[in-house]
Structure 1
Amino acid sequence: MTSLSPHFNEEARLGALRSLRLLDTAPSKAFDRITRIASRLLRVPISSISLLDRDRQYFKSRVGFDLVEAPREDAPCNWTIRGERVCVIPDLLHDERFGHTPLVRRGGMRAYAGAPLITRTGHSLGTLCVMDTQPRRFDDDEVAVLAELAAMVMAQIELQNSIGRIHPVSGYPNEYQLIDDLDDLAERQPGVRRAALLVESVTARQMQQGVRVFGATFVESLIQSSTERIRRALDPRARLYHLSAARCVVLLEDGANAPEATARQLHLSLRDPIDCNGVPVRAEPAIGIDVFVPGQVAARDALRRLYSAVDDARGTPARTAAYAASHDRHHARRFQLLAGLAGALQAEDQLSLVYQPRVDLDGRPRGAEALLRWRDPRHGDISPAEFVPLAEETALIGALTRWVLHHALAQLARWRAAGVTLKLSINVSAADLEEPGFAGCVATLLARHGVPPAAIELEFTESMLARDDGRVITQLRALRAMGIDIAIDDFGTGYSSLAYLQKLPASVLKIDRAFIGDLTASAHDQKLVRAILRMAHDLGYRVVAEGVESAQCAALLRAWGCDEAQGYHFARPLGAEALIKYFGAMLDSKPTRR
């Protein structure tokens, strides 16, 4: 399985791709020669240089097929670009991600190997990939050949586009030159410590507002004004590099001497408003500092450490921060988890579901909530509160949601086949509602497993549903039209207005555990919960209390008319068999109330 690159950033990647002006261009003999060599050396009928745009893959060169472009979704290359190594899939038909796709079902493709085309700054433009109509494995030598050919493609791209080393607006050396210079220092002066500073002159929000009001000329004016201000504040021996509209790197010539003093001088130089087309823009500079030895720290890693430091600086009163290895370890863990999660989605023994019972306040079973668990071989048990938000920042969230839906519905189908009928609640991410085809995907999975829509409930957090987005309402209405119940999860922690809640096609409201934990001791929480119950019932919602951990709390909720509850007082999350035994024991021990 390919590992997730810590440098992957979709918007930056797309910017790098489009800046090279490769999309929708005429065929090139140089690229065609490489794809033909790939097919011959690896003995495959199909090869291509695939450049991945936002929603399509454009074939700059191809052997064995005539398509110029194809949808990016579900393409193996869409996974390959997220890693740094060759991705090999011996049999697409038996890979859960691709076995259902037209590429396999109608195109007959079975084996795949792809090498990412990575720029010097770490952005993956696309792939050099080969495919076979028969399942097969690619040995180490073949993988090495493919990687070498991909490097040839990148060399050709750089040659054809004459990638420069000077920023076109400021005239200062750019990121490419910085990387070259750091590599050069590692060779010429090995073991010498260097200090670098990353200066971010304005916040991302200021940049967005400026572009919205003044257009692209705002960016050019900001670049010219801020870089000159920075240059004047520096020692003449310091090297200045221009990375992006609001970011510059300063490499100090005198080793690691006094970078903090330079940072103070830079803050002073940016204290006065920057003139942007006659409009004074108040700078909000942040400066990240790193002291390192080129060569012992790779050029790309040095740049990454500076980005980490400047992000930390934004959260400090002084707006200056030195690189902290502890923070880097935190970020490294995030990337390791993302890489591990990509593999876990294909493994059979890492992800699992447990089920927390939901009961009415008389103690009768009402259903269960499916909860995702992940046991990583390296890090052990990982909390969903840690890895789900990470997945939501990447394209992994769609695959993760499909995994949960598939396995939850499969289990529900097994229960129903055994004569056990219960409603299963499944958590869904905010990103899923932004996908136009999400409701259709749910319908397809329900049909595949033979589960009626009324047997499930989909949970969405309040803050997600409260976004006044027409796409959210459209998706929710489509789901409700199928007969699926919609639950508003973690109610009370978001920012929704009552007017907006009234518009939502939801039927269940779940009171967040933050209001339940101290319910027996807090008069304030008691008033809030009673008010939520009255409001929710007036709006037609069933109400579920989360985090009920004592009989006293359950008694209060029952007295106030709460419909259902879940929590450790009733049961911890259980395996599939244990859940059925639990409900069976509950029914045996509870007389039916009329």
Structure 2
Amino acid sequence: MSSAAPLPDLAALLAQRVDLDPAELARYDLEQHPALADTALLGTALHDFLQRQPETGERFGDAVDAELRQLVEHKVNHFATLLTRPWAGESLDAGLALGRQQHEYGLSTAWLSSAHRVYLDHLEQRVGGLALAADERAGLTAALRKLVFYDLLLQLSGYHAGAEAVSQGEAQRLARLNRLYITLSQVSHIAARNVRHLGSRELAAQTLLREVCETVVEHGGIHMAWVGFIDAASQRIEPFAWAGADAARYLGGITVSVDPARPEGQGPSGRAVRSGQLQLLEDSLNAPGYHAWSQHALRQGFRSSVATPLWRDGAVIGVLNLYAAAPGFFGAEEQRLAKAIADKIDLALGHLDDLERQRQAEARLLHQATHDPLTGLPNRTRLFHRLEQALQADAADRLTVLMLDLDGFKDINDLFGHSAGDTLLCRIAERLRALCRPADVVARMGGDEFVVLLEQLPDPHTARNAVEQIISAVRRPVPLPDGEVSVSTSIGMVTGSAGVSADTLLRQADIALYRAKSLGRDQYCLFDDELERQLKQQQTTRHAIRAALDGDELALYYQPKVDLQSGAVIGAEALIRWVVNGEVRAPGRFLPALEGTELLGQIDSWAIRHAIAHAAHWHRHGLPLQISVNVSAISLRRPAFFGELRALLAEAALPHQALQLEVLESVSQDSLQYIIDCLQACKDIGVSLALDDFGTGASSLLHLQRIQPDVIKIDQRFVRSMREQPENIAIIKSVSTFSQLSGRTVIAEGVETEAIGQDLLALGVRFGQGYAIARPMPATDFPVWVSQWRPPAAWRCHVTAAS
């Protein structure tokens, strides 16, 4: 080993520190002892020793075996060079490099020093095996020990040099990272904001993304930032939000595509969309495929950029573009920042979509809560809210509420089915909307009931015109799959006033509607205080009648029907009476209050049950008369009516022909096929059918054909006034003639005097009932009256034209 060449400064300094004289090593000529190196044995010992150190596993992790073997190989090779050429430049460089490498691995100086303990043990064992004198072995051992310490200092020098270089770079890196993380923090804050107050999803997205771009430019050292979304139709990436130097002008002068076949699709944005990966542009001056934008970028001062895809529901929907003035600006940390910002944008957009879905769901729920699902009209809740608002306005007295009910709607449902009924409701709703002004409200309250709210009316005449137009529009036929149907409407009308609540106004409109229906339907009624008083009286009456049904306060009185000429009693009509504290009240005092209610049907059932019981009793005791009972449309609409009637007849063992049902002509006007079928079923089992109050309906002969009665009862209003109104005589004579020709029996009501009876006989009407024959009487009195009854002599002597 030569000592002629001077030592490098660092080597000389380190050798001096461990008191190692190069001549001392040269004296032993270590190249003559190759056994000292034995790199295989040293390598095994060093690997086994270091692998047992806890720090080894902590630093190298899962890659401990491969990484450690590589490091041990470097250390062993350096050790071999150290023994033979300790002062060579390559040995010096290798020692320093090993020190830096171990710093880069993150190993401690203690770990580094422990490896040199293995060197010492190895050398002492090898020296012990050499054929040397004792003093020479001791000298060689001391020299080698110094050489090991020299190498330790050499590697520690490299270790600390690496740490110092890292420290300077770390300061710069930390400053850059600090700037980047501030940017990311600001972006995170923006993305997490509650944006519900920003309005629509698009406005909220544009506001958030513009703020993100502004933050990236301000805090991230970025020259320009923009976000674009894919337009599926044009296959372009359309700018949506941006910030930075002349960003709007730059973006206005370029076209960005996702189509790889177009030059505009070859840039970082297009590639990012297609690949789903971040795309880096190191320098716009020499980037392939960037020529479509390079001149624009250079004019704006952009040299490098990064394009990061934006995702939603597993698909790329757009791209985040960041630009810098310096080439190569976007290193690993900047690229991670770009990805992190893109992730935040993805989350923010997802949050916006969730908010939009929530907003739409809330809007749907609100619409469902405030609108009718069938017609789409506002419902009761929405109407009530609008009505309250209108009443709080200064022009409450220029407000009118119309409450509509469709006449005969239930019959449409019964005949054509509920689907047809729904179609009818929708068509009527459309007509009402078409008639009203945009500011008016048309609402469906439920069933076949609608409300129209008219605001800012110039005068009451305008409201009446609107009512008449509605009545006319509803009358028009409505086409259905099974044919056209026609309905009419009854309308309650009320005018607003200051201080009146919405609830009160709707209640008053309902009162007026009830009055309109009771007046004959297909018309309207204006609310006044008298209507309310009448309604309260009706409510009181209904309550009392319910109590009367339960308290046995109702009774049936019977008015005979007779052959005017022969005097024979042909039957009797059962008429209900209300007995209150000994006072007998006629039906005219309470039945009108029950019209249109289920209570009327309960009265019918009570009357039929008791009339059948009385008739059966009289039949068993030798008085086989036919008893007639009035029945309302409400009863005939009940599906169980016919079955219950047949059961009552069977239970009483009463011949079916001994019962007659009297229906008003107005029932036939309301009825459709269901009621007609019910009446026909009664006739089919032998129950007689009489058409009561004939002549009072709008189309008497038409309804006569529809229900096919056995008996026609001429309304008493025609009979009583025959002599004062001669035209009634013609009506009665026509009905009598028609009945005889069609094989029907005619009974005249209202035979109040002997003279009326004589006149009726003269007109060919042979049967009648009225006060001239007998007033209605309790059931217990009726058999006695029958046994004592004698017709007036004038009637018995009268010879009719028919006889």
TM-score range normalised by the length of the shorter chain = 0.5 to 0.7
The structure with more radius of gyration: 2
Matched, 1:337 2:545: no
Matched, 1:228 2:438: yes
Alignment-derived partner of residue 614 in structure 2: 411
Structural mapping, 1:283-432, within 5 Å: 288-291=494-497, 293=499, 300-308=503-511, 324-349=528-553, 351-361=554-564, 362-375=566-579, 383-385=586-588, 387-432=590-635
**Residue deviations 1:211-260 (CA, integer Å, cap 9, x gap):** 99998488479659946345xxxxxxxxx99776652276xxxxxxxx98
| Counterpart contact for 2:403–2:513, Cα < 8 Å | no
Cα offset, 1:426, TM superposition: 1.0
Alignment-derived partner of residue 174 in structure 1: 382
Structure 1 pair 403–322 and aligned structure 2 pair: CA distance change class (3 A): closer
| Counterpart contact for 1:165–1:175, Cα < 8 Å | no
Alignment-derived partner of residue 682 in structure 2: 479
SS at match of 1:288: strand
SS at match of 1:486: strand
2:424 and 2:790 mapped to 1: Cα distance?
Answer: 68
Unaligned runs of 5+ in 1: 1-160, 186-191, 231-239, 251-258, 277-283
Structure 1 pair 408–343 and aligned structure 2 pair: CA distance change class (3 A): same
| Counterpart contact for 2:567–2:796, Cα < 8 Å | no
Structure 1 pair 444–308 and aligned structure 2 pair: CA distance change class (3 A): closer
Cα offset, 1:337, TM superposition: 2.7
1:487 and 1:383 mapped to 2: Cα distance?
Answer: 22
Alignment-derived partner of residue 506 in structure 1: 709
| Counterpart contact for 1:542–1:563, Cα < 8 Å | no
SS at match of 2:789: helix
Amino acid at match of 2:659: I
Residue among 528, 540, 555 paired with 2:731: 528
Cα offset, 1:287, TM superposition: 6.2
| RMSD of Structure 2 on Structure 1 (CA) | 5.1
Amino acid at match of 1:490: D
2:716 and 2:444 mapped to 1: Cα distance?
Answer: 46
Structure 1 pair 320–423 and aligned structure 2 pair: CA distance change class (3 A): closer
| Counterpart contact for 1:193–1:293, Cα < 8 Å | no
**Residue deviations 1:114-158 (CA, integer Å, cap 9, x gap):** xxxxxxxxxxxxxxxxxxxxxxxxxxxxxxxxxxxxxxxxxxxxx
| Counterpart contact for 1:340–1:376, Cα < 8 Å | no
Structure 1 pair 218–425 and aligned structure 2 pair: CA distance change class (3 A): closer
2:550 and 2:777 mapped to 1: Cα distance?
Answer: 23
| Comparing 574-583 and 219-228, the one that deviates more | 219-228
Residue among 465, 470, 475 paired with 2:668: 465
SS at match of 1:174: helix
Residue among 640, 648, 653 paired with 1:437: 640
SS at match of 2:709: coil
Structural mapping, 1:1-40, within 5 Å: none
Structure 1 pair 260–286 and aligned structure 2 pair: CA distance change class (3 A): farther
Structural mapping, 1:139-218, within 5 Å: 174-177=382-385, 197-200=399-402, 216=426
| Counterpart contact for 1:355–1:371, Cα < 8 Å | yes
Structure 1 pair 261–310 and aligned structure 2 pair: CA distance change class (3 A): farther
| Counterpart contact for 2:492–2:527, Cα < 8 Å | no
Q: Higher relative CO (CA 8 A, sep ≥ 6), structure 1 or 2?
A: 1
Percent identity reads 26
Amino acid at match of 2:709: A
Structure 1 pair 585–228 and aligned structure 2 pair: CA distance change class (3 A): same
2:706 and 2:465 mapped to 1: Cα distance?
Answer: 51
Cα offset, 1:375, TM superposition: 4.7
Cα offset, 1:455, TM superposition: 1.5
Structure 1 pair 562–337 and aligned structure 2 pair: CA distance change class (3 A): same
> Which structure carries more helix by proportion?
2
Structure 1 pair 466–195 and aligned structure 2 pair: CA distance change class (3 A): closer
Structure 1 pair 229–555 and aligned structure 2 pair: CA distance change class (3 A): same
| Comparing 540-549 and 174-183, the one that deviates more | 174-183
| Counterpart contact for 1:263–1:320, Cα < 8 Å | no
1:322 and 1:502 mapped to 2: Cα distance?
Answer: 36
Cα offset, 1:501, TM superposition: 3.4
Cα offset, 1:363, TM superposition: 2.2
| Counterpart contact for 1:201–1:286, Cα < 8 Å | yes
1:450 and 1:247 mapped to 2: Cα distance?
Answer: 54
1:581 and 1:518 mapped to 2: Cα distance?
Answer: 32
Amino acid at match of 1:198: T
| Counterpart contact for 1:241–1:248, Cα < 8 Å | yes
2:595 and 2:423 mapped to 1: Cα distance?
Answer: 31
1:270 and 1:558 mapped to 2: Cα distance?
Answer: 48
Cα offset, 1:499, TM superposition: 6.7
Alignment-derived partner of residue 36 in structure 1: none
Cα offset, 1:546, TM superposition: 0.7
| Comparing 173-182 and 469-478, the one that deviates more | 173-182
Amino acid at match of 1:338: R
| Counterpart contact for 2:577–2:586, Cα < 8 Å | yes
2:630 and 2:592 mapped to 1: Cα distance?
Answer: 13
Structure 1 pair 311–560 and aligned structure 2 pair: CA distance change class (3 A): closer
2:723 and 2:460 mapped to 1: Cα distance?
Answer: 53
Cα offset, 1:356, TM superposition: 0.6
Structure 1 pair 269–333 and aligned structure 2 pair: CA distance change class (3 A): closer
| Comparing 461-470 and 575-584, the one that deviates more | 461-470
Cα offset, 1:491, TM superposition: 1.7
| Comparing 397-406 and 487-496, the one that deviates more | 487-496
**Residue deviations 1:5-41 (CA, integer Å, cap 9, x gap):** xxxxxxxxxxxxxxxxxxxxxxxxxxxxxxxxxxxxx
Alignment-derived partner of residue 123 in structure 2: none
Cα offset, 1:419, TM superposition: 3.3
Amino acid at match of 1:405: I
Amino acid at match of 1:455: A
Structure 1 pair 424–587 and aligned structure 2 pair: CA distance change class (3 A): same
| Counterpart contact for 1:462–1:488, Cα < 8 Å | yes
| Counterpart contact for 2:694–2:700, Cα < 8 Å | no
Unaligned runs of 5+ in 2: 1-364, 411-420, 474-489, 798-802
Amino acid at match of 2:787: G
> Which structure carries more strand by proportion?
1
2:462 and 2:531 mapped to 1: Cα distance?
Answer: 26
| Counterpart contact for 1:222–1:246, Cα < 8 Å | no
Cα offset, 1:358, TM superposition: 1.2
**Residue deviations 1:294-321 (CA, integer Å, cap 9, x gap):** 6xx7x63343125546889999xxx999
1:417 and 1:249 mapped to 2: Cα distance?
Answer: 65
**Residue deviations 1:477-532 (CA, integer Å, cap 9, x gap):** 32222222211211222244647635644322211112211234544332332222
Structure 1 pair 427–267 and aligned structure 2 pair: CA distance change class (3 A): closer
**Residue deviations 1:163-214 (CA, integer Å, cap 9, x gap):** 987558789982453688899x9xxxxxx99868334499969x99xx9999
1:272 and 1:490 mapped to 2: Cα distance?
Answer: 32
Amino acid at match of 1:291: S
| Counterpart contact for 2:396–2:498, Cα < 8 Å | yes
| Counterpart contact for 1:195–1:291, Cα < 8 Å | yes
| Counterpart contact for 1:288–1:320, Cα < 8 Å | no
Structure 1 pair 249–484 and aligned structure 2 pair: CA distance change class (3 A): same
2:733 and 2:463 mapped to 1: Cα distance?
Answer: 56
1:470 and 1:271 mapped to 2: Cα distance?
Answer: 29
